[in-house]
Chain A
Amino acid sequence: MHQSGEKHTSGEAVYVDDVRVADCLHLAFVLSTKASAKILSVDTSEALKIDGVECYIDHRDVPGKPLIGQNDTPVFAIEQVTFYGQPIGAVIAKDAETARRAANKVKVTYEDLKPLVTIEQAFEAKSFHKFSPLNIHSSLLDSDTVPVVDWSKFDHVVSGSVKIGGQEHFYLETSGCLVIPGEVNDVEVISSTQSVNDVQGEVSSSLGIPRHKVFVRVKRIGGGFGGKESTAGIMACPTAIAAMKLRRPVRCILERFDDMVMTGTRHAFRVDYKVGLDKEGKLLNFDAQLFNNCGHTLDQSKGVMGRAATHIDSVYKWTNADFIGHLCKTNLQSATAYRGFGAPQAMYATETIMTHIAEATGLDINELREKNLYSEGDRTPFGMTLTECNIRRCWTECKELSKYDKRKIAVDEYNSKHKYKKRGIVLTPTKYGISFSINQLNQAGALVHIYLDGSVLLNHGGMEMGQGLHTKMLQIAARCLEIPIEMVNLHETATDKVPNASPTAASVGSDLNGLAVQDACNKLMARLAPFKKANPTGKWLDWVTKAYVERISLSATGFGIIHSDPVDYVTGKGAELYSYCVYGVACSEVEIDCMTGDHRLLRTDIVMDVGDSLNPALDIGQIEGAFVQGYGMFTMEELKVAPNGFWITRGPGNYKIPSADDAPREFHVKLLKGSSNKKAIFSSRAVGEPPLFLGASAAFAIREAVKAYRMQHGLNGYFRFDSPATPERIRMACVDQFTDKIPELPNDNSFTPWTVQL
């Protein structure tokens, strides 16, 4: 059971806004209503008149460095705004409602500049971020030159383009923090963050005080998904500035309405591809240009593109591959980390390519896949050798578990008998590489104390966002110390317990922190060993007591690292980038209503390789949850932005995430048996991100259903199907006499569209 399971159901689990602090003030932001503009004036007079308002702060109140992030994110806008929703200033008042009412009364005047919103606009304006473009050339693994490709020598050449929309994290607990000033310039920050270390760094920098005076802690957050990995400073720095200025605790809890516009989403992507293969269906050459819509600052965008470019091969072996990734800089909230980190977007393109190849050549898509799946010892285009590669086993077992062959026949029969409802069924594979791609992040620490009564306090650098990390760490500690799990407690994640901790991200929380916890516990066991030996029939408390009396330290730090070799994205030469991979396959069946574009996910079967699981219940929960989040990404969640950069989707009213009755009624998840993993703790494998892409199986099943409808109307041949497969997209792809009645939009500037595809 999740360590906090009962506290969740009783409502007694404490999140940052539940922490009760006397004399606390509240902060509300004044946000830009322009995507790109010069700030001409800010009039706070009306706001400051409101009873209960303490003050207004802006860039002039920042005592330290004005930029956070990758040294490019203003704490408060200075002279100009670069995205709709950018913080210009903040009002601090006695309660949240008063602060927001006052913030709404602050009047800002602007001089409009032309915003760049889409990938295409950024590309045309040559607006790219630092480090762009990123390159991968598989030929550089064995030689020094990248050969020019002769496309005429391939039996089949297929080319096309596909776009994948971004996604809002929608962690149910919005971003926020509570800052309590200490003596003089000591400050305490309770932050809803995946990285207490980064918050410490950014608060330290913007306040102009050293890190050892900044104490950041978090007990749990109500969901992160990558959206709180590097963005918590956006709230924490202004709040800390306010708290230190007013010498009172200040709380900032974002309204959903603001969180959805300020803190960054998943990167929208575009992939232009050209592939060559032989007539038997062997994949030969893969050329791809990838584009991500990064928003106004760099943040995680380089890493996201790197991961996209190192996952677009997915589970398929190519003879030669050349990938170029462009980091498009636009006037939008800075796109950031999100579970999958570029890989789901890239693999949607990969499966699109496989589908395109099958439909263009007439080859059977599953035979095409089976022919080209990676085998043990194969090398990826970016230079990783695949060991303990279980993709074929996952594929075979999923086909069996789902009874795919039988059900495909049933689906085809259903389609022949139903005119306006169609079904589709597909198998979708995935692989996911595990390590932080920035090598210095592949480290973790722990601190374990044994108290005089024998009870143990565990601290480690990872934090809890619902994935059950603490539960797994308590299990590891109990196992290493050979004591019941009830004797081990874990309080919170804090910068004064483990310094310089990497964010809890990249699915490596258990891998990394597990090693550190194990290390600390092993040290303690080594110290207790002589006492155990001298008193073999004694109990834990006896040995602990004796050790204390003999003045042996009952506290130990632990440390762990995992390996990663960086790819050279400048030249394109690869390396053993990831420590190991996680494999999985999903089979999904959907039914669509061709008249309305609505769909229903009927059944999903997943076989996932998580090695020797540390906690099967938690892992299955992660697989189910990641799948549903991917399902939402690829079929219902659509970010809507106006052509001028005005952000439309700001709440659950117009942004649709999966709800309780969207889950497939039949949902089977099976962990691959007999798998191990030499590279991680107790032979387990990471599980947070790898299953998310499998949600795309629903989107591709929808496309199969659409295809059936199109074929019924005599439309054969490949059709482009971007993500997400919303009702609008489904309905319009179901081309028939009704869609034919809708006139084409003019191809000029005579109208302003409601939204643009990013």
Chain B
Amino acid sequence: MAADTNTSTTRLTFFVNGKKHEVDHVDPRTTLASYLRNQMHLTGTKIGCNEGGCGACTVMISDQAPESGAIQHYSVNACLMPVCSVNGKAVTTVEGIGSLVRQRLHPIQERLAKAHGSQCGFCTPGFIMAMYALLRNYPQPTEEQIDVALQGNFFLVKLLSLFTINQ
């Protein structure tokens, strides 16, 4: 393969948890979930179904709204998002909002754990990121807004103490 010195069409540039990430020649079929886990070794984001149906892969994207240019934050299923589509955007994963190794958990993480909000824990990062994205947009969400934000997260085992977390 001839060396392609013009990287403007082959170089992917995006931010993950505040850090700039650049990579050339990514297979365009690669999903964001797969890239985060296998290339960046950020394994907090889980793959539960690989078809956008369970929410385990939820991460937050920050970018500029196409018309207004205003910064917007929203949750996505990383398993449906091609990694190439985050070019120029910022991705926040569960590792980005807090960690035990860094000895600092985000209040959402701390409160969900204290409220016995997890059992096997596999769906938990997805719930955390869905809640984080919600609170980023609506610091005092209504019950209905919470319902809509968590609709895509599978709740196989447990009733979450959602309202205690919000307080």
Enumerate A4-41 residues with CB–CB distance to B below 8 Å: 4-15, 17-18, 20
Q: Which residues of A contact B63 (CB under 8 A)?
A: none
CB–CB A657/B156 < 8 A: yes
CB–CB A6/B157 < 8 A: no
Distance in angstroms from B164 CB to nearest chain A CB is 13
CB–CB A223/B154 < 8 A: no
Q: Which residues of A contact B156 (CB under 8 A)?
A: 170-172, 223, 625, 628-629, 632, 657-658
Q: Which residues of B contact A1 (CB under 8 A)?
A: 113-114, 116
Assuming A9-B128, A10-B105, A97-B29, is B118 touching A2 (CB within 8 A)? Answer: yes
Is B158's beta carbon under 8 Å from chain A?
yes
Interface of A is mostly: loop
CB–CB A9/B124 < 8 A: yes
Distance in angstroms from A176 CB to nearest chain B CB is 11
Distance in angstroms from A627 CB to nearest chain B CB is 9
Return the chain A residue nearest B93 by Cβ: A11
- Residue from the set A6, A221, A661, A667 with the largest chain B CB neighbour count within 10 Å: A6
Is B48's beta carbon under 8 Å from chain A?
yes
Enumerate B120-167 residues with CB–CB distance to A below 8 Å: 120-125, 127-128, 147, 150-160
Distance in angstroms from B70 CB to nearest chain A CB is 29
Enumerate B43-79 residues with CB–CB distance to A below 8 Å: 43-51, 53-54, 56
Assuming A621-B158, A660-B147, is B112 touching A9 (CB within 8 A)? Answer: yes
CB–CB A172/B50 < 8 A: no
Q: Which residues of A contact B157 (CB under 8 A)?
A: 223, 466, 621, 624-625, 628-629
**Bound state CA distance, A18 and B98, in angstroms?**
18
**Bound state CA distance, A12 and B44, in angstroms?**
6
Q: Which residues of B contact A617 (CB under 8 A)?
A: 116
CB–CB A652/B49 < 8 A: yes
Is B19's beta carbon under 8 Å from chain A?
no
With an 8 Å Cβ cutoff, the count of chain A residues facing the other chain is 55
**Bound state CA distance, A12 and B152, in angstroms?**
22
Q: Which residues of B contact A663 (CB under 8 A)?
A: 155, 159
Q: Mark B82-109, 1 if CB is under 8 A from A, else 0.
A: 0000000000011100111100010011
**Bound state CA distance, A449 and B29, in angstroms?**
49
Is A651's beta carbon under 8 Å from chain B?
yes
Distance in angstroms from A505 CB to nearest chain B CB is 15
Partner among A20, A255, A629, A658 whose Cβ is within 8 Å of the Cβ of B50: A255
CB–CB A172/B99 < 8 A: no
Return the chain A residue nearest B154 by Cβ: A659
Return the chain B residue nearest A14 by Cβ: B43
**Bound state CA distance, A249 and B91, in angstroms?**
31
Q: Which residues of B contact A628 (CB under 8 A)?
A: 155-159
CB–CB A660/B113 < 8 A: no
CB–CB A172/B122 < 8 A: yes
CB–CB A653/B29 < 8 A: no
Q: Which residues of A contact B155 (CB under 8 A)?
A: 628, 658-660, 662-663
Q: Which residues of B contact A651 (CB under 8 A)?
A: 49, 51, 53
Is A467's beta carbon under 8 Å from chain B?
yes
Assuming A256-B51, A653-B51, is B120 touching A10 (CB within 8 A)? Answer: no
CB–CB A223/B113 < 8 A: no
Return the chain B residue nearest A662 by Cβ: B155
CB–CB B98/A10 < 8 A: yes
Is B20's beta carbon under 8 Å from chain A?
no
Q: Which residues of A contact B147 (CB under 8 A)?
A: 660-661
Assuming A10-B94, A624-B159, A652-B51, is B110 touching A172 (CB within 8 A)? Answer: no
Partner among A9, A20, A221, A657 whose Cβ is within 8 Å of the Cβ of B110: A9
**Bound state CA distance, A685 and B153, in angstroms?**
31
Is A222's beta carbon under 8 Å from chain B?
yes
Return the chain B residue nearest A5 by Cβ: B113
Return the chain A residue nearest B96 by Cβ: A11
Assuming A10-B44, A11-B125, is B119 touching A467 (CB within 8 A)? Answer: yes
Q: Which residues of A contact B41 (CB under 8 A)?
A: 20
Partner among B30, B45, B119 whose Cβ is within 8 Å of the Cβ of A466: B119
Q: Which residues of A contact B109 (CB under 8 A)?
A: 6, 9-10
Is B6's beta carbon under 8 Å from chain A?
no
Is A586's beta carbon under 8 Å from chain B?
no
Distance in angstroms from A230 CB to nearest chain B CB is 19
Distance in angstroms from A237 CB to nearest chain B CB is 24
Is B38's beta carbon under 8 Å from chain A?
yes
CB–CB B51/A466 < 8 A: no
Q: Which residues of A contact B105 (CB under 8 A)?
A: 6, 9-10
Return the chain A residue nearest B101 by Cβ: A12
Distance in angstroms from B125 CB to nearest chain A CB is 4
**Bound state CA distance, A97 and B109, in angstroms?**
32
- Residue from the set A8, A11, A17 with the largest chain B CB neighbour count within 10 Å: A11
Assuming A10-B44, A220-B121, A663-B159, is B54 touching A652 (CB within 8 A)? Answer: yes
- Residue from the set B37, B56, B154, B157 with the largest chain A CB neighbour count within 10 Å: B157
Q: Mark A615-640, 1 if CB is under 8 A from B, else 0.
A: 00110010011001100100000000
Is A468's beta carbon under 8 Å from chain B?
yes
Return the chain B residue nearest A253 by Cβ: B47
Return the chain B residue nearest A8 by Cβ: B121
CB–CB A660/B151 < 8 A: yes
Q: Which residues of A contact B43 (CB under 8 A)?
A: 11, 14, 17-18
Is A412's beta carbon under 8 Å from chain B?
no
Return the chain B residue nearest A651 by Cβ: B51
CB–CB B98/A659 < 8 A: no
Enumerate A659-701 residues with CB–CB distance to B below 8 Å: 659-663, 667
Return the chain B residue nearest A625 by Cβ: B157
**Bound state CA distance, A160 and B127, in angstroms?**
45
Assuming A173-B120, A653-B53, A657-B154, is B114 touching A11 (CB within 8 A)? Answer: no
CB–CB A660/B153 < 8 A: yes
**Bound state CA distance, A464 and B121, in angstroms?**
11
Q: Which residues of A contact B94 (CB under 8 A)?
A: 9-11
Cβ-closest 9 pairs across A and B: A11-B44, A466-B120, A8-B121, A652-B53, A222-B122, A466-B119, A625-B157, A11-B94, A5-B113
A-B contacts, 18 listed (Cβ < 8 Å): A1-B114, A4-B118, A5-B113, A5-B121, A8-B124, A9-B112, A9-B117, A9-B128, A11-B95, A13-B121, A17-B37, A172-B56, A223-B122, A625-B158, A651-B51, A652-B51, A652-B53, A659-B153
- Other than the given A170-B156, A255-B50, A256-B49, 16 more pairs (CB < 8 A) read A2-B119, A5-B114, A8-B124, A8-B125, A11-B124, A171-B120, A172-B46, A172-B48, A173-B120, A257-B50, A466-B157, A625-B119, A660-B151, A661-B150, A663-B155, A667-B159
B residues engaging A (CB < 8 A)? Answer: 27, 29-30, 34, 37-38, 41, 43-51, 53-54, 56, 93-95, 98-101, 105, 108-110, 112-114, 116-125, 127-128, 147, 150-160
